Structure 1
Amino acid sequence: MKSEFVNSIDKINEVTWQSLANSSSPFINYQFFKSLENSQSVSSKTGWQPHHLLWSKSNNVDAILPMYIKQHSWGEYVFDWAWADAYQEHNEPYYPKLVATIPFTPISTPKLMGTYIELSQVFSVLTEHCLAQNINSWHILYTQKIQKQSLRLNNVFHRNTVQFHWFNHQYHDFSEFLSTFTARKRKNVKKERLSISQQNIKVRRILGKDITTEEISFFYLTYQLTYLKRGHSPHLTSDFFSNALKSLPNNILLVIASVDGCDVACAWFFFDEHQLYGRYWGCTQAYNNLHFELCYYQGIDFCIEHKLQVFNPGAQGEHKIQRGFEPVLTHSYHWIKHLGFRPAIQQFCLQEQQQMQLYLKHCQQFLPFKAETS
Structure 2
Amino acid sequence: MADAAATLTLTLHPAIAEIDAADWDACAGEGNPFLSHGFLSALEDSGSANARTGWLPQHAVLRRDAAIVAVVPMYAKSHSYGEYVFDHGWANALERVGERYYPKLQAAVPFSPVPGPRLLRHPDAAIPVAAMANALEQACQSLSLSSVHLTFCTEQEWVGLGDAGWLRRIGMQFHWQNEGYADFDSFLAALSSRKRKILRRERRDANAAGLTFHALSGSDITERHWDAFYAFYHSTVDRKWGSAYLTRSFFSLLGQRLGDRVVLMYAENAGKPVAGALNLAGDEALYGRNWGCRGDWPFLHFELCYYRAIDWAIEHGLRRVEAGAQGRHKIQRGYMPKPTYSAHWIAHAGLRRAVASFVTEERAGIEAEMAALAEESPFRKGED
Question: What range is the shorter-chain TM-score in?
Answer: over 0.9
> Equivalent residue for 1:63?
70
> In the alignment, is residue 134 of structure 1 matched against residue 141 of structure 2?
no
> Equivalent residue for 1:345?
355
> Equivalent residue for 2:113?
106
Q: 1:107 is matched by which residue type in structure 2? A: V
Structure 1 residues 153, 319: closer, same or farther in 2, change over 3 A?
A: closer
Structure 1 residues 150, 207: closer, same or farther in 2, change over 3 A?
A: closer
Q: Give, in angstroms, the shift of residue 122 of structure 1.
A: 1.3
Q: 1:368 is matched by which residue type in structure 2? A: P
Counterpart CA distance in 1 for 2:253 and 2:307 is 28
Counterpart CA distance in 2 for 1:362 and 1:47 is 37
2:148 counterpart SS class: strand
2:170 counterpart SS class: strand
Q: Give, in angstroms, the shift of residue 48 of structure 1.
A: 0.6
Q: Give, in angstroms, the shift of residue 231 of structure 1.
A: 2.2
Q: 1:3 aligns with which of 3, 10, 18?
A: 10
Q: 2:303 is matched by which residue type in structure 1? A: E
> In the alignment, is residue 54 of structure 1 matched against residue 64 of structure 2?
no
> In the alignment, is residue 82 of structure 1 matched against residue 89 of structure 2?
yes
> Equivalent residue for 2:80?
73
Write out aligned runs for 1:264-303 (5 A).
Answer: 264-303=274-313
> Equivalent residue for 1:91?
98
Q: Give, in angstroms, the shift of residue 203 of structure 1.
A: 1.4
Q: 1:69 is matched by which residue type in structure 2? A: A
> In the alignment, is residue 315 of structure 1 matched against residue 317 of structure 2?
no
> Is the CA contact (8 Å cut-off) linking 1:256 and 1:294 kept in structure 2?
yes
> Is the CA contact (8 Å cut-off) linking 1:7 and 1:50 kept in structure 2?
yes
Q: Give, in angstroms, the shift of residue 261 of structure 1.
A: 2.7
1:193 counterpart SS class: helix
> Is the CA contact (8 Å cut-off) linking 2:174 and 2:325 kept in structure 1?
yes
1:121 counterpart SS class: helix
Q: 1:254 aligns with which of 249, 264, 268?
A: 264
Counterpart CA distance in 1 for 2:333 and 2:151 is 27
> Is the CA contact (8 Å cut-off) linking 1:120 and 1:146 kept in structure 2?
no
> Is the CA contact (8 Å cut-off) linking 1:254 and 1:268 kept in structure 2?
yes
Counterpart CA distance in 2 for 1:160 and 1:277 is 20
Q: Give, in angstroms, the shift of residue 154 of structure 1.
A: 3.9
Q: 1:228 is matched by which residue type in structure 2? A: D
> Is the CA contact (8 Å cut-off) linking 2:119 and 2:157 kept in structure 1?
no
Deviating more after overlay: 172-181 vs 13-22: 13-22
> Is the CA contact (8 Å cut-off) linking 1:208 and 1:254 kept in structure 2?
no
1:327 counterpart SS class: strand
> Is the CA contact (8 Å cut-off) linking 2:158 and 2:341 kept in structure 1?
no
Counterpart CA distance in 2 for 1:226 and 1:324 is 24
**Residue deviations 1:339-361, cap 9 Å, x none?**
12122110110011101111111
**Residue deviations 1:46-69, cap 9 Å, x none?**
111110111111111111111000
Counterpart CA distance in 2 for 1:132 and 1:328 is 36
* Residue segments in structure 1 that go unaligned for 5+ positions in a row: none
1:341 counterpart SS class: helix
**Residue deviations 1:84-136, cap 9 Å, x none?**
22223333221110010011111111112223223332111121222221100
**Residue deviations 1:204-256, cap 9 Å, x none?**
11112211221110000000111011222312111111101011111011111
Q: Give, in angstroms, the shift of residue 286 of structure 1.
A: 1.9
**Residue deviations 1:290-339, cap 9 Å, x none?**
10000000000001111111110101100000000111111100011111
Write out aligned runs for 1:68-217 (5 A).
Answer: 68-114=75-121, 115=123, 116-146=126-156, 151=161, 154-217=164-227
1:314 counterpart SS class: strand
Q: Give, in angstroms, the shift of residue 148 of structure 1.
A: 8.1
Deviating more after overlay: 2-11 vs 79-88: 79-88
> In the alignment, is residue 336 of structure 1 matched against residue 328 of structure 2?
no
Structure 1 segments (4+ residues) deviating >6 Å: none
- Cα RMSD after superposing both structures: 1.6
Normalising to structure 2: TM-score of the pair? 0.93
Q: 2:24 is matched by which residue type in structure 1? A: W
> Equivalent residue for 2:5?
none
1:106 counterpart SS class: coil
Normalising to structure 1: TM-score of the pair? 0.96
> Is the CA contact (8 Å cut-off) linking 2:119 and 2:132 kept in structure 1?
no
Percent identity of equivalent pairs: 36
> In the alignment, is residue 37 of structure 1 matched against residue 44 of structure 2?
yes
1:313 counterpart SS class: strand
Q: 1:136 is matched by which residue type in structure 2? A: S
- Matched pairs, number: 373
